[in-house]
Copies of this chain bind each other. A is one copy, B any other.
């Protein structure tokens, strides 16, 4: 069974290709095609099981109704949830999503942008890696709108970004720890030069200083991105080994680190929250169900996805050649979910 094309229908219905096209695109009335012909064509099309070839359509119109989504790693719960929310939201606008994962690799990210661009996606939603701003600016200069999610480039006002308010979120968490009397607060973060993580780190130091606590270097552990599970675990275990003495609380700056942290805590048999208070940035099933339950700063994942899509749609419908207007960062507030770990 071969695919049926518009000209097969035209032949069978005894009309021209153009007529069929008009009917299929609801332009029949505007083009004054008669009722009978419209019905005839619609009937034949249904009968033959016609389905328009989107490649041809895209080639002709320059629009594919597809958005390219680049995340760090689709198997990570945070990005998987975000992706689903973007997929669902895009569907409302009748857009399809093509995803891919960078694994936080600059080169891979570049390849992916290339690949999506070759496939003529109409716009992009990207979790950027370091040094990607040039490539992204190029996309915009080719009139393809981009919206960043989760991360941003501080010196590029012209690239819109939707993300949680990292500084505010971490500040709120820190204030809570301080308010509860903790002063020897350890921090676990991931090694990266990217601004969103720097914002989180900055909040940590700022809140400590504001309360007259000197930030101590030995309380801050930055685990290398590339390290394997075991190596990373070892680092966290080291940091928390002195829990109850030199450390009375720990703040994990990402989901993944929090899970790692739980593993370390379990291994060291640390009593939470009596020996160590625990707080994590980003929620996860595990934090809700672990004993004790772990308090978190929860990102509004759904809202980030929705806002990213709506911002992109805004730009997609902008006609022609004008460059995109600058757009300030869109920062969404995080919630502090208080559980048993602090």
Interface residues of A (CB under 8 A from B): 1-3, 51-56, 58-59, 64, 66, 73-77, 80-81, 83-84, 87, 96-101, 114-115, 117-120, 138, 141-142, 259, 262-263, 266, 284-286, 288-291
Q: Are the C-beta atoms of B81 and A51 separated by less than 8 Å?
A: no
Q: Which residue of chain B is the closest to A73 with respect to CB atoms?
A: B84
CB distance from A93 to the nearest CB of B (A): 14
**Across chains A and B, which 10 residue pairs bring their CB atoms closest together, nearest first?**
A75-B84, A80-B80, A54-B118, A55-B59, A75-B80, A75-B81, A55-B58, A55-B55, A286-B286, A54-B119
Q: Are the C-beta atoms of A74 and B64 separated by less than 8 Å?
A: no
8 Å CB contact of A286 from B115, B118, B138, B289 = B289
CB distance from A16 to the nearest CB of B (A): 21
Q: Which residue of chain B is the closest to A293 with respect to CB atoms?
A: B266
Residues of B within 8 A of A142 (CB): 1-3
Instruction: Check A51/B118 contact, CB under 8 A, given A80-B77, A81-B75, A83-B74.
Output: yes
- Copies held by the complex: 2
CB distance from A129 to the nearest CB of B (A): 17
Instruction: Check A80/B74 contact, CB under 8 A, given A3-B142, A118-B52, A289-B286.
Output: yes
8 Å CB contact of A55 from B75, B119, B259, B286 = B119
8 Å CB contact of A77 from B77, B96, B97, B289 = B77
Q: Which residue of chain B is the closest to A84 with respect to CB atoms?
A: B75
8 Å CB contact of A84 from B84, B97, B101 = B101
Q: Are the C-beta atoms of A101 and B75 separated by less than 8 Å?
A: no
Report how far A286 CA is from B262 CA in the complex, Å: 10
8 Å CB contact of A53 from B51, B59, B87, B289 = B59
Beyond known contacts A56-B59, A75-B81, A286-B289: 7 more, CB 8 A cutoff = A54-B118, A55-B56, A59-B59, A77-B77, A262-B289, A284-B285, A286-B286
Residues of B within 8 A of A84 (CB): 73-75, 101
Residues of B within 8 A of A98 (CB): 96, 98-99
Residues of B within 8 A of A259 (CB): 285, 289
Residues of B within 8 A of A289 (CB): 259, 262-263, 266, 286, 290
Residues of B within 8 A of A266 (CB): 289, 291
CB distance from A321 to the nearest CB of B (A): 9
Report how far A266 CA is from B284 CA in the complex, Å: 17
Q: Are the C-beta atoms of B75 and A118 separated by less than 8 Å?
A: no
CB distance from A118 to the nearest CB of B (A): 5
Report how far A51 CA is from B99 CA in the complex, Å: 20
